[in-house]
Structure 1
Amino acid sequence: MATTDFDSEIRQLKATMHTIEQVLDVDGMRREIAELEEQAGSPDLWDNQENAQRVTGRLSQLNGELERFTSLVDRIDDLAVLVEMGQEENDADTLAEADADLERIKKSAEALEVRTLLNGEYDAREAIVSVRAGAGGVDAADFAEQLMRMYTRWAERNKYPVEVFDVSYAEEAGIKSAEFAIHAPYGYGTLSVEAGTHRLVRISPFDNQGRRQTSFAAVEVVPVLEQTDNIEVDENDLRVDVFRSGGPGGQSVNTTDSAVRLTHLPTGIVVSCQNEKSQLQNKASAMVVLKAKLLARKKAEEAALKKDLKGDVAASWGDQMRNYVLNPYQLVKDLRTGHESGNPSAVLDGDIDDFIEAGIRWRRGGVEQG
């Protein structure tokens, strides 16, 4: 087994952190934190609720980013001390511990380096994810459900809360569509690279002749709104339908018409929510999603950047951005970045960090072939 060149590795880590420090503008971040703390300490801060939420939200975000950076610098310094102790005492156990720490720190540094690429207008926001079955019948519905599980499992792995707004179940298996929020810092910037059409190739479990089937599902990602976003919805532009919440196989979730479907007549955007127990709560949650979609649409139109904000969601042949092949071989491949994995089961179980990282680098013009 090759001996780790700790001196070289630590020098490289410190060089990476220096670059990250410049990109993040850590000194500027500290100055802004000091200014915001002064504003936050003002006795009349909450006289203006909108400004107060902006100040406290920005302060929390900056403190989190600074803590992430400084704690990683401290971990690298601690690693250097551990290596020095192990080398002086020629202690194999200490050096093995240092080797394990080195790998963890390198992974954290890579993740922070990718985070510095998330500097778009809405990248710091949490994300609302929509998954919709495309061409492929029952296999597509089943695939859509697998993708929903993939993203929720990814969130669970990272300890990010998931809030499901609506799931429309298909008749035989799987789902027609689903809408859910992932409450993660930089959730939109991170997951927006997942937007587009996903393609599955496998032996269909729903075909009694065991034939190979190709199916599609579309993923859309929009940023969660903040109080400072100016999105007004005229009640006259809305059609509100109420219905009874339902689960797989048409099973009733409750006995009242509490689920709400909002149709925004000028744009045709339809949003449903059946997660909450009351009609009012469901309407409020549906409005959150609707406004987020209207914001994405507005900004896309203003900047003529529809593909950047929402991705290509046609969900049909020729539009796919990632292939999941389970037969005749096992491979998941992103067609934009070239990144691939020979373990589709792990990917569909939420192991998508490498795909996301490659997507972020690709989007920022720094594609790494993997």
Structure 2
Amino acid sequence: MATMVSKTAHHVVSSFGSKGHSSLARNNNPHLGLFLCSFKIRACHSINSNNNDIYKQVGLFSLRRKIEDAVIRAEMYASTALEMEEASWIKQEEMMRDSDLWDDPTKSNDILVKLANSAKVVDSLKDLRYKVEEAQLIKQLTEMNAIGYGLYKQAYDAAVDVGNILDQYEISKLLKGPFDMAGACLVIKAGPAGIYPKPWAEQLLQMYLGWAKRQGYEGRVVDRYQIKNEGIDSATIEFEFECAYGHLLGEKGVHHLIRGYPNESSQLETSSATVDVIPLFLENARDFEIDSADLIISSPSTHGKQKKQIECTVCIQHVPTGICVQSSGERSRFANKMKALNRLKAKLEVIAIEQGVDSINSIVKNKILNMWEEETRRYVSHPYKLVHDVKTGIEMTDLNTVLDGNIEPFVAAHINTRE
């Protein structure tokens, strides 16, 4: 039966399109094994803390193995990484002592940001060393038969922390894009057709808020157009923490929810929504100007939307490219205009880089990627559960956990396969 369901799952997913299905299998990036290993550690961390459940589902032997694996993984290169990051930190401090640096405020600010980031990395790796020592000590007590469940669980928690720190460090080394260190503005829009696209867009909104919470942060919903008893027409979330853009970039595109009919009909019903990801610059607004003659500034219609919210909402269209953005989360129309303009600048910069042109004035309109042509992920909910990431080939069978925000396996896999 399990085999039949598995075959059916692959048949239905394949029938919806096979783009990117085997791309990950062909990828020989050495970081992949580390990422997949870390996913297993994180999955075990979510197990109920009840003693009996831990014994039944994992067992002491399994716990011991996970502790040992985390310690070995840390010992392989944690010390080298710490030495390298401390050297980088010292170098940044030496540059700060350069008196000529203060003649260039832009350069000095960049050095200050890098110095702060280096300090955070060094502190994190030092904390990793303490966690490893703690796990090793408890492991030694284990060998002396002088340990109870409480200490064992403490060692396991330390091992999980070690895995998480290493995961974050490894990913940070792969984030090398021009805007990867920025925050992120994530825009969700329900599809114009399909079955129940607005409730599906609402589910995606909750999924991304759940992801941020799992990372120890919060997502701020700054625009939300609720349709009574129908979900959302669109929503915008701002993630105001470093590297949010680098992590979420792979989420850009179309997300499909696929359901089969209970009567086993071959027909599928699909709900679709798009996700756009725009850099959110945490330090300064973009410093280039856009010709006002190229902009159409307006407010959206009030049909089906909150009148008070619409009064302050600002929509901006960039005529040469056709790109549209809007903002309604600020208290005044002027503030929303500034926010929308910054989003527009960020989006145009990204498009210019994608097209390989030197300025936004060189962007070719008909070469801008249509969001609906970039498929990202399929979430199958019936008659089986499967989440298939089209871009990387990663699959997960726990649909509910994914919709609760556990998208880190997809996030990490996308970063890993990024050129």
Normalised by the size of structure 1, how large is the TM-score? 0.80
Q: In the aligned structure 2, how far is the partner of 1:228 from the partner of 1:166?
A: 20
What is the aligned partner in structure 2 of residue 32 from structure 1? 91
How big is each residue's C-alpha offset from its partner over 1:288-327, in whole Å with a ceiling of 9 and x where there is no partner?
21111011112122269x9xxxx965436xx523110111
Shift of the 58–235 alpha-carbon distance from structure 1 to 2, 3 Å rule, reads farther
Q: In the aligned structure 1, how far is the partner of 2:250 from the partner of 2:307?
A: 36
Q: In the aligned structure 2, how far is the partner of 1:301 from the partner of 1:82?
A: 54
Q: In the aligned structure 1, how far is the partner of 2:286 from the partner of 2:337?
A: 19
- Give ranges in structure 1 of 5+ residues lacking alignment: 205-210, 365-370
Among 110, 135, 138, which residue is 1:54 paired with?
Answer: 110
Tell me if 1:13 matches 2:74. yes
Among 131, 134, 140, which residue is 2:188 paired with?
Answer: 131
Among 295, 310, 334, which residue is 2:349 paired with?
Answer: 295
Q: Is the 8 A contact 2:191 2:272 kept in 1?
A: yes
Query: In the alignment, residue 71 of structure 2 is paired with which amino acid?
Result: I
Query: In the alignment, residue 251 of structure 1 is paired with which amino acid?
Result: Q
Deviation for aligned residue 1:363: 2.5
What is the aligned partner in structure 1 of residue 216 from structure 2? 159
Q: In the aligned structure 2, how far is the partner of 1:161 from the partner of 1:296?
A: 24
Among 304, 310, 324, which residue is 1:270 paired with?
Answer: 324
Q: Is the 8 A contact 1:237 1:264 kept in 2?
A: yes
Tell me if 1:359 matches 2:359. no
Q: In the aligned structure 1, how far is the partner of 2:387 from the partner of 2:88?
A: 39
Tell me if 1:343 matches 2:395. no
Q: In the aligned structure 1, how far is the partner of 2:334 from the partner of 2:286?
A: 22
Query: In the alignment, residue 223 of structure 2 is paired with which amino acid?
Result: D
Query: In the alignment, residue 185 of structure 1 is paired with which amino acid?
Result: E
Residue correspondence of structure 1 range 184-333 to structure 2 within 5 A? 184-202=241-259, 212-225=268-281, 227=284, 230-242=287-299, 249-253=304-308, 257-302=311-356, 314-315=371-372, 319-333=374-388
Q: How many residues align?
A: 343
CA RMSD of aligned residues (A): 3.3
Q: In the aligned structure 2, how far is the partner of 1:139 from the partner of 1:26?
A: 50
Q: Could you tell me the percent identity over the aligned residues? A: 26
Q: Is the 8 A contact 1:245 1:259 kept in 2?
A: no
Q: Which moved more, 1:2-11 or 1:107-116?
A: 2-11
Q: Is the 8 A contact 2:194 2:269 kept in 1?
A: no
Among 93, 98, 122, which residue is 2:155 paired with?
Answer: 98
Query: In the alignment, residue 73 of structure 1 is paired with which amino acid?
Result: R
What is the aligned partner in structure 2 of residue 120 from structure 1? 177
- Give ranges in structure 2 of 5+ residues lacking alignment: 1-58, 262-266
How big is each residue's C-alpha offset from its partner over 1:221-250, in whole Å with a ceiling of 9 and x where there is no partner?
22224548553222222221146888xx43
Q: In the aligned structure 1, how far is the partner of 2:252 from the partner of 2:69?
A: 39
Q: Is the 8 A contact 1:216 1:315 kept in 2?
A: no
- Bigger relative contact order, structure 1 or 2 (CA pairs below 8 A, ≥6 apart): 2
Shift of the 138–201 alpha-carbon distance from structure 1 to 2, 3 Å rule, reads closer
Q: Helix, strand or coil: the match of 2:248? A: helix
Q: Is the 8 A contact 1:243 1:257 kept in 2?
A: no
Q: Is the 8 A contact 1:135 1:215 kept in 2?
A: no
Deviation for aligned residue 1:183: 1.4
Runs of 4+ in 1 over 6 A off after TM superposition: none
Q: Is the 8 A contact 1:324 1:344 kept in 2?
A: yes
Q: In the aligned structure 1, how far is the partner of 2:378 from the partner of 2:131?
A: 38
Task: From the two aligned structures, give the one with the greater helix fraction.
Answer: 2
Deviation for aligned residue 1:149: 2.0
Query: In the alignment, residue 349 of structure 2 is paired with which amino acid?
Result: L
How big is each residue's C-alpha offset from its partner over 1:100-120, in whole Å with a ceiling of 9 and x where there is no partner?
322332233233222322122
